[in-house]
Amino acid sequence: MIPGPFSYRKAASLEEAIALLQQYGGEAKVLSGGQSLIPMMKFRLAEPAVIVDINRIPGLDAIEERNGILAIGGLVREVALERSPLIRQRYPIIADTAEVVADPLVRNLATIGGNLAHGDPANDHPATMLALRAEVVARGPGGERVIPIDDFFVDTFTTALAPDEILTEIRIPAPPPRSGGAYMKFERKVGDYAVAAAAAFLVLDEAGKIARAGIGLTNVYYKPIRAEAAENALVGQVPSDGLFRTAAELAAQATDPTTDLRGPAEYKRAVARTMTLRALKAALSRAQVA
Amino acid sequence: MTTTPIRGLGHPVKRKEDPRFIRGKGTYVDDIKLPGMLFLDIVRSPYAHARIKRIDPSKALAMPGVVDVITGAELEKAGLAWMPTLMSDRQMVLPTDRVVYYAQEVAAVVATDRYTAADAVLAVEVEYEPLTPVLDPFKALEPGAPLVRPDREQKTNHIWHWEAGDKEKTDRIFQEAEVVVSQDLYIPRIHVCSIETCGCVVNYDRATDKLTIWMTSQAPHAHRTVFSLVSGIPEHKIRIISPDIGGGFGGKVPVYPGYVIATYAALKLGKPIKWIEDRSENLQADSFARDYHIHAELAATRDGRIRAMRVHTVADHGAFDAAANPSKFPAGLFSVCTGSYDMEAAHVAVDGVYTNKPPGGVAYRCSFRVTEAVHTIERMVDILADELGMDPAEIRFKNFIRPEQFPYKSPTGWEYDSGNYPATLQKALDAIGYQELRREQAERRARGELMGIGISTFTEIVGAGPSHTFDILGIKMFDSAEIRVHPTGSAIVRIGVQTQGQGHETTFAQIVAEELGLPVENIIVEHGDTDTAPYGLGTYASRSTPTAGAATAVAARKIREKARLIAAHLLEVSPDDLEWRDYAFRVKGAPDRFKTMQEIAFAAYTNFPQGLEGGLEAVCYYDPPNLTFPFGAYVCVVDIDRGTGQVKIREFLAVDDCGTIINPMIVEGQIHGGLTMGMAPALFEEIVYDENGTMLTGTFMDYLLPTAMETPHWKTDKTVTPSPHHPLGAKGVGESPTIGAPPAIVNAVVDALSHLGVRHIDIPITPAKLYQILVEKGVAE
Ligand SMILES: Cc1cc2nc3c(=O)[nH]c(=O)nc-3n(C[C@H](O)[C@H](O)[C@H](O)COP(=O)(O)OP(=O)(O)OC[C@H]3O[C@@H](n4cnc5c(N)ncnc54)[C@H](O)[C@@H]3O)c2cc1C
């Protein structure tokens, strides 16, 4: 578990980091928390020639609400999300998610930007961001662009980011009244990636019907997915156990998991259903008090 | 008189070793750094079975910093391509023509730094011709199966057949029995996973001809002897130092190829060599444990009296039998599988088999295959109870060996030293509220909820062992202690066993404190250096307290006898007029006239009687008259999540009896750790291979070690039934929880589903496995 040879560059600014990425082309990799990249290098699954460390770049670690959105800097660590009063009070679904990522040692370093940019369907934040209809802000040689989350995850370990682009911010619409979300993950042990996990976000109208629904799923498809049919089944309906079961079943049908040590595909699909059901119930009870 | 408290037996003395560990000041093998040291790394096989056509080291040798590449061909010339295992099999150090398991050592690279060594490993070109591997031991026994070990004279994958008990009598009882239950049980391969991996630093001093090896060894003396026999280097020219050890659990008893290659390289190159495995190498290639395919049967009367037990086991040993059992026990002490129950007869047969998997069959915290034995009997008793519609507690009370039957001769030939099984189980049931739990279970079942209660009432067998029966490669399994009391009344104790976390530096000091009346803080314990410690067989199988602990007590008593003579001289009375009471020699009838050990120690160097040698020291090589038999009663309560198949341990109570307790805090710590290590294979751990024999669980992402988060709140309690033959009445304890916990957990899970017709589930009971059962029984959510 010793990485191959590489050289290390520490960028002081976004401009410098982008210039370095341009200079080395596909040979270079951005280093954030390093909790996905470094293990892959140690197993020699990734052998980048150059590491561009962006940890010293100022201004990428803020969590703030402005103009009806929540903006989370790309370098915000999991531990900061877990502890942020703003996140805990207004966005408990994000706190749910951060808390079940890996273990405390990893969470002290791992960043939300890296969690999305890695493009790993096993990572937890993508599902939540899909359920919340987030946007990803990227900076590259040509300036800044905003990518809707639905366009962000392209393939396993592949996102819409170009090799010389840096994820700088994640934007999430501020929660409307009567909304609530929850993330439910089933893992074999703490620190494990999900057998299956589900993020659910619900907005109720004044009559108590579901006005908007978001459901994202973790580790049950070749990339993070949104369970669109399940969402559609919920909208316009009065929440009930039966309705949630139908939606959970639709979510399970949207999955295409692989059989591995976490269990057979059929099992993972069943767990996706259970997690969706439980996430919907938790989201509803939060929406009803919000 | 000293005012410092003695704090001998029974005191919860804080561990003397902890200050250095807590401060990060321990010295592990990887902390040893010598000038000019080179680094060794190993090329490993990507195939489970293949012919090696060619090894080309030229690209690696051309890399800057690469000093040498060592292959089997080179070792063969030195007579070192093969080495003996502790089970009298032989094992490849480096192959000359074929590899027989995935991740097997193929060649070794020596370089000036660790990173270059790792890069060079990838640059060694090896051409393989893949061969069909045989992975299933039953298939390995079929005619025409690929031969794992063509080097052997016997052209079969069968290694040995071993049996115990009375076959005829057992078969007769089975023929006439009113009730017979039978079950196949598989206990999977698991790994010891000590947090410190294996490794060594070898230094050969050409000026003095002395070979010093710092090595992760649970048995440094035995390893020195093996090294001397294999290499021909005289034993006094070899020094093995086993420094702080980050967990052993049986995995640091065997000799691994890496040790031998590193030693060869140090001798050849004249430079110190460091070899440290990484985590995946440790998981993939070091000795595994378990892998027992068990077929078990019980014969009983209709009213629930067990009459006989019959067991046949196929033991998968991988490509080399590299277990570390006593010579006469290729299946360890598995024949203790009649457990805590009195029965008329038993017959146990085990067949060892080669497969294309890593070698081993070491004891992983199980005192030589006792985990397998206990799992078998504790599961079978529950299965019998289910067959008869009896309560699992009731059937146990009915069949326990009664307290008055001790010493009890078991049908497979063991003599249990002491026990009081009904008292221990009753204590556990009362404490957990067994009847109330059964009522709750009935209510929950009516609501469709799945809750189970599991009991395990195990008997351990530890303290190998008496010289008439126990040896490793011919070396008798005694153990030793040497005590020197210094003039000012402090002492050094050196022992033949080697701690890896058990707290020897504390408990052995407490034994001496108790026996000599010296404060525990004035006693230092040393071990692990073969140049200074007395010869011993090492620490594993919970043997330290039964053997070296006894040696320490006996050596201390020898010192006390000499001290009596000095005290008599000082008090000007006859030695017979003195009695040892309240940590001093006192004149009988005049207890205020006394001499403490501190005063006596000073006199031993300054004012000893004529005709007596000066000094105050003693040595004991203790040959235990028997093994010790700790036992316990564990009760586990589980709830099952019908939506995921997850087992949640709601409550777990462990009542242990390990005889006299030296340090209750250390015993509790051992039990807590052991329970977690018992839960691990029950619910999480398993080494998995694919159909090609590639290991799929070579990292901690895939090989699931439970953490504090998965660990329930363990409740512990005790009963104390001293061993009648141990000088302190102590038994071993380290492994009791590891062997007792798995069946308690499995019994609880099966109990939760017994009303649905579930009678057995093999470990590990993973959520996926359990969910499948819930689906089949129509209760999945
Ligand atoms: C033991 C362990 C368990 C884990 N368990 C979980 C889990 O349960 N759930 C979970 O979600 N995650 C888990 N992780 C992954 C962890 O959360 C990752 O660290 C995280 O997904 C990536 O964040 P990072 O900051 O560490 O990224 P890095 O490892 O630094 O980078 C990951 C990838 O993203 C790229 N990248 C990083 N930041 C940017 C950026 N700002 N712009 C562009 N590209 C970027 C890198 O070049 C690299 O390719 C686990 C990790 C470990 C070591």
- Determine the residue of A101, A125, A223 to mutate for testing ligand 1's pocket, defined as the one with the most ligand atoms within 8 A of the Cβ atom: A101
> Mean pLDDT across the stretch A270-290?
97
Q: Residue B136, exposed/middle/buried by CB under 10 A (0-12, 13-18, 19+)?
A: middle
A218 lines ligand 1 (CB under 6 A): no
Residues 6+ apart with CB under 8 A from B576: none
Residue B122 has pLDDT above 60, yes or no: yes
Q: What is the pLDDT of residue A12?
A: 98
CA nearest to A262 within chain B: B768
Sheet holding B98-99, edge to edge: B98-99, B50-56, B125-130
Ligand 1 binding pocket includes A115 (Cβ within 6 Å): yes
- Check B709 against A189: CB less than 8 A apart: yes
Domains identified in chain A and CATH numbers: 7-53 (3.30.43.10), 63-173 (3.30.465.10), 179-287 (3.30.390.50)
Measured between CA atoms, how close is A1 to chain B, in angstroms? 6
User: To the nearest whole angstrom, how far is the Cα of B448 from the nearest Cα of chain A?
Assistant: 17
The answer to whether B503 and B526 have CB atoms below 8 angstroms apart is no
φ/ψ of B552, rounded to 5, equals -65, -45
pLDDT at B406 over 80: yes
Predicted local distance difference test score (pLDDT) of residue B1: 46
Q: What is chain A's length?
A: 290
Q: For residue B18, what pLDDT band results from cuts at 50, 70 and 90?
A: very high
pLDDT over 90 percentage in chain B: 96
Total residues found in chain B within this entry = 781
CB B585 within 8 A of CB B600: yes
Phi first, then psi, for residue A13 (nearest 5°) are -145, 165
Residue A209 tokens, joined: 């019907």
For the segment A111-150, what is each residue's pLDDT rounded down to a tens digit? 999 999 999 999 999 999 999 999 999 999 999 999 999 9
Average per-residue pLDDT in chain B?
96
Contacts of A124 (CB under 8 A, 6+ apart): A97, A100, A101, A115, A183, A185, A194, A197, A218
3-state secondary structure of A173: strand
For CATH 3.30.365.10, list the domain ranges present in chain B: 18-25+479-622, 288-464+626-776
SS3 of A190-244: CCCCCCEEEEEEEEECCCCCEEEEEEEEECCCCCCEECHHHHHHHCCCCCCHHHH
Structure tokens at A208: 């108590």
As a dihedral over the C-alpha atoms of residue B402, residue B407, residue B411, residue B413, rounded to 10 degrees, the angle is 160
Q: Are B276 and B29 in contact (CB under 8 A)?
A: yes
CA of A10 to the centre of ligand 1 (A): 18
Mean pLDDT of B357-362: 88
Do the Cβ atoms of B780 and A270 come within 8 Å? yes
Query: From atom 9 of ligand 1, which residue's Cα is the shortest distance away?
Result: A101
Q: Is the CB of A123 under 6 A from ligand 1?
A: yes
Could you count the other beta carbons within 10 Å of the beta carbon of residue B139?
A: 14
pTM of the model: 0.97
What secondary structure does DSSP assign to B389-414, as a single string?
T--HHHHHHHHBPPGGG-SEE-TTS-
Quote the tokens at residue A172: 């999430």
Asked if A267 and B772 come within 8 Å (Cβ–Cβ), the reply is yes
Count, in order, helices (H) and strands (E) of chain B.
19, 33
**What pLDDT does B365 receive?**
77
Query: If we measure between CA atoms, which residue out of B93, B322, B281, B105 comes closest to residue B197?
Result: B281
Q: Decide which of 3.40.50.1820, 1.20.1250.20, 1.10.600.10, 3.30.365.10 is the CATH code for B288-464+626-776.
A: 3.30.365.10
* DSSP-assigned states of every residue in B335-371: GGTTTTB--SEEEEEEEEE--SS--EEE-SSSTTTHH
Q: Does B82 touch chain A (CB under 8 A)?
A: no
Q: CB count, 10 Å around CB of B113?
A: 12
At residue B626, the pLDDT reads 97
Distance (Å) from CA A111 to ligand 1 centroid = 7
| Mean pLDDT, rounded, for B629-636 | 98
Region B439-449 average pLDDT: 98
Closest CA relative to residue B403, chosen from B382, B385, B419: B419
Q: According to the model, what pLDDT value does residue B230 have?
A: 87
In this complex, do A195 and B767 lie within 8 Å of one another by their Cβ atoms? yes
Cis before residue B465, ω within 30 degrees of 0? yes
pLDDT band at B637 (very low <50, low <70, confident <90, very high): very high
Cβ atoms of B495 and B548 within 8 Å: the answer is yes
Q: Which chain A positions have a beta carbon within 8 Å of B122's beta carbon?
A: 44
Q: How far apart are CA B670 and CA B676, in angstroms?
A: 10
User: B234-260 as b/e, with b when 16 or more CB fall inside 10 Å?
Assistant: eeeebbbbbbbbbbbbbbbbbbbbbbb
pLDDT tens digit sequence for B407-424: 999 999 999 999 999 999
Domain with CATH 3.90.1170.50 in chain B: 32-131+196-246+252-285
Q: How would you classify the pairing of strands B38-44 and B273-276? A: parallel
Q: Which numeric CATH code is attached to B32-131+196-246+252-285?
A: 3.90.1170.50
The reported pLDDT for the residue numbered B541 is 86
> SS in 3 state form for B149-189?
CCCCCCCCCEEEEEEEECHHHHHHHHHHCCEEEEEEEEEEE
Work out the average pLDDT over B762-779.
98
Per residue in B496-551, pLDDT (tens digit) is 998 888 999 999 999 999 999 999 999 999 999 999 999 999 988 889 999 999 99
The residues that bridge with A287 in the sheet, in sequence order, are: none
- Say yes or no for a CB contact (<8 Å) between B684 and A4: no
Secondary structure of residue B554 in the 3-state scheme: helix
Ligand 1 proximity of A32 Cβ (cutoff 6 Å)? yes
What does DSSP say about strands B66-71 and B479-485: parallel, antiparallel, or unpaired? unpaired
d(CA A30, CA A167): 10
Residue B165: its pLDDT value, please?
A: 98
Interface of A with B in 21-50 (CB under 8 A): 43-44
In angstroms, what is the span from residue A11 Cα to ligand 1's centroid?
A: 19
To test the pocket of ligand 1, the residue of A20, A22, A32 to mutate (highest count of ligand atoms within 8 Å of its CB) is: A32
At a CB cut-off of 8 Å and minimum separation 6, what does A161 contact?
A117, A138, A167
Q: Give me the architecture of the B18-25+479-622 domain, per CATH.
A: 2-Layer Sandwich (3.30)
Average pLDDT over residues B666-691: 97
Residue B188: cis peptide before it, omega within 30 degrees of 0:
no
A6 inside 8 A of chain B by CB = no
The yes-or-no verdict on residue A51 having pLDDT over 50 is: yes
Question: B2 falls in which pLDDT band (50, 70, 90)?
Answer: very low
Nearest residue in chain A measured CA to CA from B113? A2
Q: Which residue of A has its CA nearest to B280?
A: A1
**Containing H/E element for B299?**
strand B288-300
d(CA B473, CA A260): 42
State the pLDDT confidence band at B361, using cuts at 50, 70 and 90: confident
Distances in Å between the Cα of B518 and the Cα atoms of B66, B597, B604, B666 are 55, 7, 15, 20
Distance of residue B69 Cα from the nearest chain A Cα, in angstroms: 19
Would the pLDDT of B79 be above 90? Answer: yes
The rounded distance, in Å, linking the Cα atoms of B677 and B57 is 42
Q: Which tokens belong to B266?
A: 């140090």
Asked if B31 is an interface residue toward chain A (Cβ–Cβ < 8 A), one would say no
How many Å separate Cα A185 from the centre of its chain? 13
Euclidean distance between CA atoms B590 and B362, whole angstroms:
56
The residue type found at A193 is Y
Give B684 to chain A, closest Cα distance, Å. Answer: 8
Distance, first Cα to last Cα, chain B: 71
The answer to whether the CB atoms of A2 and B697 lie below 8 A apart is: no
Do B587 and B578 touch, CB atoms closer than 8 A?
yes
Q: Give the separation between CA A46 and CA A254, rounded to whole angstroms.
A: 31
